Amino acid sequence: MSFHSSEQKKSSSRGLTAGSRKNKDSKLDPAVKPRDDGDCDGLFCAEMGFSHVNKEGSAQMVDVGDKKAQLRIARAQGTIKLNSQTLEMIKENQIKKGDVLTVAKIAGIQAAKQTANLIPLCHTLILNKIDLNFSYTKDGIKAESIVKSIGKTGVEMEALTAVNVALLTIYDMCKAVDKNMIMSDIKLLEKVKADV
């Protein structure tokens, strides 16, 4: 464990001056000037791309009112590691709770539609398409989602939510027979924005 004096902390923070923070692509109001105090303040966070943080450092819901509606597509995936016996039981539809992958697919679709209720700063969106597909790996199942919408903001959170809840549903349906399941590698694969 290492400790630093307050003077060391001050000197290490001085490298983050207002000048070094300036992002030439920043869309911030030019009338707003960065504070030259060396702290990661709200303005710095906004300039670094944190659109859900205002210049005071408080959380905010992004205003997308001035954006035009565009085609939005996002794909995400994740995996769940299962033992070989559990995999065979799923394939043979022998899990007592029922058809695991069908229930997981419905759960993922339902979850995508509830994303704005789960993630506080997400916008409520009209989703044109939500789909989930599953494939077997050598030691588990991979889930992949696709979400489409025509709107003013992206649908990556909906795609990620669909995958997460689908995997959680597999976990729930199989937990009686498999105590060592691991969900992992949940990530965004693609995000598309195009004019319509």
- Which amino acids are annotated catalytic? 172
Q: Are the CB atoms for 84 and 177 separated by under 8 Å?
A: no
Q: For residues 10 and 190, what is the distance between their CA atoms, to the nearest angstrom?
A: 41
Reference 183, options 175, 191, 195, 194; nearest CA is: 175
Quick check: helix, strand or coil at residue 112?
helix
179: its two tokens: 């105590």
The count of other CB atoms within 10 Å of the CB of residue 162 is: 32
Looking at residue 6, its amino acid is S
Strand pairing category for 70-81 and 182-194 = antiparallel
